[in-house]
Structure 1
Amino acid sequence: MSLTYLTLEIRRTFRSTRYVVLAVAFPVVLFLLQANVFLQGETPHREQLAGVFMVNMMVYGAFGAALTGGGRLALERAGGWQRQLRLTPLSGGGYLGGKTLAGMLVTLPALILVPVVGVLVEGVSLDPAGWVRVVAGSWLGAIPLVLLGLVIGQFATPDSMQGISILVMMVFGFAGGLFVPIDAMPDWLREVSPVLPTYWLTQIGRGAVTADLSVDLLGAAAVLAGWTVVLGAIVVRRYRRDSARG
């Protein structure tokens, strides 16, 4: 993997206005909006509920950041960049690895900024082990979301990428429990939620703030690992197919 290429990828992302708004500013605004609309000063278990909202918006921000890499990949495919790779020292593995690592790194602002606001504004308080699980666990658990963004970018066109990304975020967000509490969902939607990686990623952080409707950490990690293997295989297979066509 080329450090120069990785640095370029990260810089391009941070310079994107869409990334800053969707993946950094919007999660913070939504978190504060949810906390102030649904939680009042006398709300029972207010701190725990604020922690749940915080985890949900961390995942939402990470998801938005993860999908930005897919948009750039769609543009590069359309422009023939992957064919040009064979004329450069950058290998296919280095290219995909750089995309994945860059996608992981650009999820960090939301995973750090939202908890900071949670502590300073909404009074969320966890022990050190809880914060490690919320922040580090959510970051590692975001790997399948990054790969999902790359999968979309490998199949979508530059014109269709934005629409597909919005649709995927809406479906995975609402059905995964980011905007609607899982216990408030209709029965049929509760059966759909555990299929999605967003559901399991929220479970990693949620287990640190409340025991309600939470699963064990190892169970959530195992499901996300399965998603990582499947999506990673699709990314590699599609890349090889595109390269063979070139």
Structure 2
Amino acid sequence: MTNYLYQLKINFKRIILRNKAFFLFDMMLPIAFYMLYTKVLTNGLSPQQLKIWNKDYLISMMIYGCVLGSIITTANTLLNDQTSKFNLFISLKPISKTRYYSSLAVIFVTLNLIASITISLVGIFVNKIDLPLYTIFKIILANTIGTIPLIMIGIMVSLVKRPELVNLLTNLIVFPLAIISGLWWPIDMMPKWLQSFGKTLPTYQLSVIDKALLNQNISNSTAFLNITVWFGLLTLLLLILTKLQENKGIIE
């Protein structure tokens, strides 16, 4: 247990505390979007409409911050460990690979938790969003757990093992995912066919859950089921890809 806690400490420092990209992109970019769309681009909204918009867009940017961390930071961290042979170093130490990867998973989830808390604090203190403490806690918890399937995507992207391809794939996944699922602007502004596709994505389903908690409504069981299905499918796909690469001798 002591060795595992030490591994967590090392990963926390190198992935979060010493990672400038995490603070710049995973937190500052969603905060910048949130400030832009709630403080600048709100002409014509009544005070009541603005109040609703500030809450709804807070949910979107909380999820967007987690999308950045789950896919971009996860993929690049695992790629860096591969190219720097850090994972080889781990395999030579008295630490199992299961412990190594499980400690990384804990850090990636923690990263999403920090991003969710930070962005929600901006909404509370800057836009004066008034929510009960238990409601905020439930939203942050649901948001953190609900983005675990996205971490699976980041892990799969890292398997290509080429920096240029990893960067290309993360951009091709993250930004269309944010746009089509309605994180940057309301999904009903899109064509009907694109709305139908966007509503199947895990990010949209998570926003449904978060907004239900925000408005203290009964949680949408269909959204929970959809995210669970996504998690199962992505986990299965990750296992298949990993096994294929092991058989080809690509993964140590």
* Secondary structure class of the residue paired with 1:20: helix
Q: Which moved more, 1:76-85 or 1:150-159?
A: 76-85
- Percent identity of paired positions between Structure 1 and Structure 2: 20
| Amino acid paired to 1:198 | T
| Offset, 1:229 | 2.0
Would you say 1:119 and 2:121 are equivalent positions? no
Partner of 2:46: 42
- Structure 1, unpaired ranges of 5+: none
**TM-score when normalising by structure 2:** 0.86
Mapping for residues 144-163 of structure 1, pairs under 5 Å: 144-163=149-168
In the alignment, which residue of structure 2 is the partner of 1:24?
27
Q: 1:233 aligns with which of 222, 232, 236?
A: 236
The equivalent of 2:68 in structure 1 is 64
Name 2:15's counterpart in structure 1.
13
Q: What one-letter code is carried by the residue in structure 2 that aligns with 1:200? A: Q
Per-residue CA distance 1:148-170 (angstroms, 9 max, x = gap): 11111123422322222122111
The one of 204, 221, 224 equivalent to 1:221 is: 224
Unmatched 5+ stretches in structure 2: none
Summarize the alignment of residues 94-133 of structure 1 with structure 2, pairs less than 5 Å apart. 94-133=99-138
> Taking structure 1 as reference, are residues 100 and 230 closer, same or farther at Cα in structure 2, changes over 3 Å only?
farther
- The Cα of 1:189 is off from its aligned counterpart by 1.0
Structure 1 residues 81 and 231, CA gap change in structure 2 (3 angstroms): farther
Which whole-Å CA distance do the structure 2 matches of 1:102 and 1:86 have between them? 19
Q: Give the secondary-structure state (helix, strand or coil) at the position aligned to 2:199.
A: helix
User: Contact 1:35–1:50 (CA<8 Å) still a contact in 2?
Assistant: yes
Partner of 1:164: 169
Q: CA deviation at 1:77?
A: 3.0
Secondary structure of 1:44's aligned partner: helix
Moved more, 55-64 or 149-158: 149-158
Q: 1:184 to 1:202 in 2, by over 3 A?
A: same
Once residues 167 and 227 of structure 2 are traced to their aligned partners in structure 1, the CA distance between those partners, rounded to angstroms, is 25
Aligned residues: 244
User: CA RMSD for the aligned pairs?
Assistant: 2.4
Report the CA distance shift for 1:56/1:70 in structure 2 as closer, same or farther (over 3 A).
same
Kept in 1, the 8 Å contact 2:109–2:148? The answer is yes
1:90 aligns with 2:95: yes
Q: What is the aligned counterpart of 1:209 among 199, 209, 214?
A: 214
What is the CA-CA distance between 1:104 and the residue it aligns to?
Answer: 0.4
| 1:184-219 CA-partner distances (Å, limit 9, x unpaired) | 1210111111221111121221223349xx994332
Is residue 213–residue 219 contact of structure 2 (8 Å, CA) maintained in 1? no
- The answer to whether the 8 Å contact 1:66/1:146 transfers is yes
* 1:35-78 Cα distance to aligned partner (Å, 9 max, x none): 01343573433222111110101111111111212112123334
Which residue of structure 2 lines up, in the alignment, with residue 74 of structure 1?
79
Distance 1:72 1:116 in 2: 27
Alpha carbons of 1:88 and 1:238: their partners in 2 closer, same or farther (altered >3 Å)?
A: farther
2:20 partner letter: T
Give me the whole-angstrom Cα distance separating, in 1, the residues matched to 2:126 and 2:120: 10
